[in-house]
Amino acid sequence: MIHTNEYAPACGELAESTLSVARQATLETGAIVREYFNHTFEVKSKGPNNPVTTADLAADRLLHQRLMDAFPDDGWLSEETADAPARLDRRRVWVIDPIDGTKEFIQGLPEFTISVALVVAGQAVLGLVHNPITGELFHALRGGGAFVDGQRAHVSQRAQVNGAQVIASRSEFKRGAFDALQAPLEIVPTGSIAYKLALVAAGRADATWSQRPKHEWDICAGVLLVQEAGGRVTDLDGRLHRFNQPHPEVNGIVATNGHLHRGIMTLLGRDGRR
C-alpha cells in the first residue's frame, strides 16, 4: 500500500475537471437507475438480508466504464465489483456504491442514492451523492466546501442534544435500536446512509449514526460532504475514517453538525472526547 504525505486540498483546476467527469457519470447513472425504478428489475441475493438488483449491476458497469475510461490509472473499490488488491498501490482510488439503499429501491421508496468518491492518501477528496428520484445532487471537494444542487451547504447550528433531529436507519429503527432515544430526540427513519449523511451536510437534520459495521463505499462520499459543510464524522471510537484500506469494513459511523458530537457520543455510551 502507498503511504504518502503528498495529500493536499483538492481544490483547483484539475480537481474541478475530475469533478465534472464524475458529476456527468453520476447523473447519467442516475437516469438509468430511474428507468429501472419506474419499470421492472430483477432481484437476487448476495447473502442473508443482502439483495442486489439488475439496476445495481447496470449502475456499477456504467460508472466503471465512464470513470476508468477517463482515469485509467486510478484504482477501483465498489460494492458490486470483486475487490482487487491492486487498488492499494494506486495513488487515487474511486470508492463507489452504485445504489446505496437497495432495499428502499426494491420497496419503491425514493430514499436511495448513487455514491461516488475519490480517495487520495486515505482521505476522500471528492464526493457526490445523487438521489435520482428527487433529483438532488450533493457534492464536495476537499477544501472547497459542500454543495446541494449548486448551492453552498452548511450543517445546522443546533447546540442542544435534547430535541435534535436524528435521521436513522430504517432497519435499525425497526429492530428497536432507537427506542430508548425517542424521548430526548426526534428520530426520523430514512433509507441510505449516504443520503442521511448528505442531509446532515445540508442542515436538514442534526445528526445520524449507525452502530453496525459499514463499508467504505457506504460512507466515503457522505463523510466528505459533512466535513466540508462544517460538521464532524467519526467511527464509534471517535476516530476519523481512513479509506482504501485492505479490509474496507469500518467500525460504524457518527455524523453530527459538530456542536452535538460529544453529546451524541456520550448518549451512545461512547468516548466523545476524541
| Tens-place pLDDT, residues 215-263 | 999 999 999 999 999 999 999 999 999 999 999 999 999 999 999 999 9
Measured at the CA of 253, the angle between CA 48 and CA 53, to 5 degrees, comes to 35
User: Domain 13-152 has what CATH class?
Assistant: alpha beta
C-beta neighbour count of 23 within 10 angstroms:
16
Give the C-alpha separation, 200 to 130, whole Å: 14
- Angle at alpha carbon of residue 189, lines to 187 and 190, rounded to 5°: 130
Whether 207 and 190 have beta carbons less than 8 Å apart is answered as no
Going by their DSSP bridges, the two strands 253-256 and 137-141 should be labelled as: unpaired
The domain 165-267 having CATH identifier 3.30.2320.50: the answer here is no
Per residue in 159-188, pLDDT (tens digit) is: 999 999 999 988 888 888 888 887 889 999
Q: Does the pLDDT at position 9 exceed 90?
A: no
**What cell numbers appear for 105 in the block?**
429501491
Which residues of the chain does CATH 3.40.190.80 include? 165-267
Looking at residue 171, what is its pLDDT? 86
List pLDDT tens digits, range 93-114: 999 999 999 999 999 999 999 9
- In the chain, residues under CATH classification 3.30.540.10 are 13-152
In sequence order, the 6+-apart residues with CB closer than 8 A to the CB of 230 are 154, 155, 257, 258
The separation between the first and the last C-alpha atoms of the chain, rounded to the nearest angstrom, is: 27
Higher pLDDT, 213 or 47: 213
CA torsion 193→196→201→202, rounded to 10°?
A: 150
